[in-house]
């Protein structure tokens, strides 16, 4: 017996084996089938489902013996991610920082720091909720554009106390931003790992750690 995806009266239902599943499993299966279908069409027409994550600028400075970092970045979501978000799927966006030393034969990571944000949509209030997962601070916005605009700049983020770093080596910092697939709901996660529509991340931007 096969499972089929049927559209009738603008509603989706399952036939075949799907009718034998519990309501929860049917919802999960339907979600996976819908996501797989969306991803297939997205891969066939990438120009219509294009997203771009960017690090445009990166600087550091010393304040009270603590290195502070400033970042200018962009999270440009594509159609697949945007549609999932407005249909109730929360997404997690992340800016990753790494301080390291480098020689001709190796690279040594000294510290890593992640700045994480969760975005979800409340259909009842028609508001997008942005949660800083590092501080648990929440903000609400009337549009997704305003949410992403608020994430474009990270200012004076404390990175590390200078006394904790090697004093006789040149230090570097690198930054990238990405969509965290591992934070997606389980029914969608497996599909997202194999879909280019969900593998959104920037290149690494590298800077000498300066005072």
Whether the CB-CB separation of 139 and 124 falls below 8 Å is answered with no
Chain segment 154-186, per-residue pLDDT in tens: 999 999 999 999 988 899 999 999 999 999 999
pLDDT score of 31 more than 80: no
Chain segment 134-162, per-residue pLDDT in tens: 999 999 999 999 999 999 999 999 999 99
Q: What is the pLDDT of residue 35?
A: 47
- pTM of structure: 0.75
Chain segment 49-73, per-residue pLDDT in tens: 567 999 999 999 999 999 999 999 9
Whether the CB-CB separation of 129 and 119 falls below 8 Å is answered with yes
Q: What is the pLDDT of residue 211?
A: 81
Q: What share of the chain is helix, strand, coil (3-state, %, to 5)?
A: 30, 45, 25
- Domains of the chain by residue range: 4-44, 52-208
8-state DSSP, 105: S
């Amino acid at each position: 017996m096969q499972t089929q995806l049927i559209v009738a009266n603008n509603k989706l239902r399952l036939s075949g084996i799907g009718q034998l599943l519990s309501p929860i499993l049917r919802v999960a299966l339907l979600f996976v089938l819908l996501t797989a279908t969306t991803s297939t069409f997205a891969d066939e027409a990438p120009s219509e489902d294009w997203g771009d994550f960017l690090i445009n600028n990166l600087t550091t400075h010393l304040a009270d013996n603590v290195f502070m970092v400033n970042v200018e970045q962009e999270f440009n979501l594509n159609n697949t991610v945007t549609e999932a978000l407005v249909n109730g799927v929360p997404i997690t966006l992340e800016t990753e920082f790494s301080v390291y030393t480098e020689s001709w034969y190796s690279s040594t990571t000294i510290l890593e720091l992640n700045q994480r944000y969760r975005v979800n949509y409340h259909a009842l209030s028609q508001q997008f909720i942005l949660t800083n997962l590092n501080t648990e601070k929440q903000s609400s916005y009337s549009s997704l554009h305003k949410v992403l605009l608020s994430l474009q700049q990270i200012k004076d983020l404390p990175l590390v106390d200078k006394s904790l770093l090697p004093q006789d080596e040149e230090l570097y910092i690198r930054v990238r931003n990405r969509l965290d697939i591992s934070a997606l709901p389980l029914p969608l996660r497996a599909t997202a790992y194999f879909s280019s529509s969900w593998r959104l991340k920037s290149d690494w931007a590298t800077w000498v750690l300066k005072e």
